[in-house]
């Protein structure tokens, strides 16, 4: 079936460290791929997205590239801040589908 | 736009009582989703609507749960009777179905339900 697998957390980093959160997917056809972020006490919000192979989504210093050959959409940031502490969800949406399929989420802690 | 609005933000109720959660989607959005989030099970899709019609309710855990969308600007999720294991954060989200797979989902701030 269609699914998203992301690395288990929590991930703990020091401020200014490099961040990678791995995400791979299984899907029929050519889905759109998303990263959502959930800050404490809030709902999920879109961080970035990519709608076709080799597209790069970027926002707030975060980047992810749609890799069809490896069915991956890894999230990266060159220098994390304490304010980036949150739960990050990788997700996909199928062509013609209504719903978004989410991964389990990865909690990130950034220490000052 | 005010975003997706959920009420109440917090609800504490006794086991056996009826609980109703409310959601107002973003104006113009025609897809609406109800999710449940717990530490153990993560984010689960319960049900979703398109143009006020339920499309898939396979995620609804059992008959105690029901959802309605009487019009484009309002939806409810009802639990009757409630049980302690229903304690979770319930999210409502909306999106624009016409944008197809490119459309992002916009989430409300959630309702934290505690059943004692």
Of the pLDDT bands very low, low, confident and very high (cuts 50, 70, 90), residue A99 is: confident
- Top-confidence residue, B11 or A9: B11
Given this model, what pLDDT does residue B72 score?
A: 94
Look at residue B114 and tell me whether its pLDDT is greater than 90: yes
- Pair B91, A44: CB distance under 8 Å: yes
Tell me whether residues A98 and B31 touch, CB distance under 8 A.
yes
Q: Pairing between strand A32-38 and A44-50?
A: antiparallel
Output the pLDDT for position B53: 95
Interval A88-98 mean pLDDT: 88
Inspect the interface and report whether the beta carbons of A98 and B93 lie closer than 8 Å.
no
Q: What average pLDDT does the segment A44-50 reach?
A: 96
From B47, which residue of chain A is nearest by alpha-carbon distance?
A99
Q: Give me B80's structure tokens.
A: 């009757």
Mind telling me how many Å the CA of B55 is from chain A's nearest CA?
9
**pLDDT classification of B13: cutoffs 50, 70, 90:** very high
CA distance A46 to A39: 12
pLDDT of residue A94: 87
Q: Which of A96, A98, A35, A34 is nearest to B30 (CA)?
A: A98
In the predicted model, is pLDDT for residue B86 greater than 70? yes
The answer, for B1 touching chain A at a CB cutoff of 8 Å, is no
CA-based nearest distance B71→chain A, Å: 18
Question: Per-residue pLDDT tens for B72-84?
Answer: 999 999 999 999 9
Helix (H, G, I), strand (E, B) or coil at B73: coil
Mean pLDDT of B59-82: 95
How confident is the model at residue A68, as a pLDDT? Answer: 94
Residue B1: band (very low, low, confident or very high) from pLDDT cuts 50, 70, 90: low
Alpha-carbon distance A111 to nearest alpha carbon in chain B (angstroms) = 23
Please state the rounded mean pLDDT for residues A79-98.
92
Q: In the predicted model, what is the mean pLDDT of residues A43-60?
A: 96
Does the structure show a pLDDT above 70 at A37?
yes
Q: What percentage of chain A has pLDDT greater than the value 90? A: 86
B101, pLDDT greater than 80: no
Give the whole-angstrom CA distance, residue A44 versus residue A91: 12
Cross-chain CB nearest to B104 (options A46, A94, A97): A46
DSSP secondary structure, A34-54, as one string: EEEEE-TTS-EEEEEEE-STT
């Amino acid at each position: 079936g269609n699914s998203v697998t992301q690395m288990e957390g929590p991930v703990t980093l020091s401020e200014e460290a490099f961040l990678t959160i791995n995400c791979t997917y299984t899907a029929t056809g050519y889905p759109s791929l998303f990263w959502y972020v959930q800050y404490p006490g809030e709902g999920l919000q879109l961080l970035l997205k990519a709608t076709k192979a080799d597209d790069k989504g970027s926002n707030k210093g975060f980047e992810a590239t749609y890799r069809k050959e490896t069915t991956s959409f890894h999230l990266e940031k060159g220098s994390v801040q304490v304010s980036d502490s949150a739960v990050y969800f990788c997700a996909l949406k199928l062509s013609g589908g209504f719903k978004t399929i989410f991964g389990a989420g990865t909690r990130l802690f950034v220490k000052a | 736009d005010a975003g997706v609005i959920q009420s109440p933000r917090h609800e504490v109720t006794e086991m056996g009582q009826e609980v109703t959660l409310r959601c107002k989607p973003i104006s113009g959005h025609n897809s609406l989703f109800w999710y449940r989030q717990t530490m153990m099970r993560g984010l689960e899709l319960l049900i979703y609507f398109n143009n006020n019609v339920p499309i898939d309710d396979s995620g609804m855990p059992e008959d105690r749960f029901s959802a309605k969308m009487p019009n484009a600007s309002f939806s409810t999720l009802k639990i009757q009777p409630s049980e302690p294991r229903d304690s979770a954060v319930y999210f409502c989200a909306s999106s624009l179905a016409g944008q197809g797979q490119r459309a992002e989902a916009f989430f409300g701030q959630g309702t934290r339900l505690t059943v004692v």
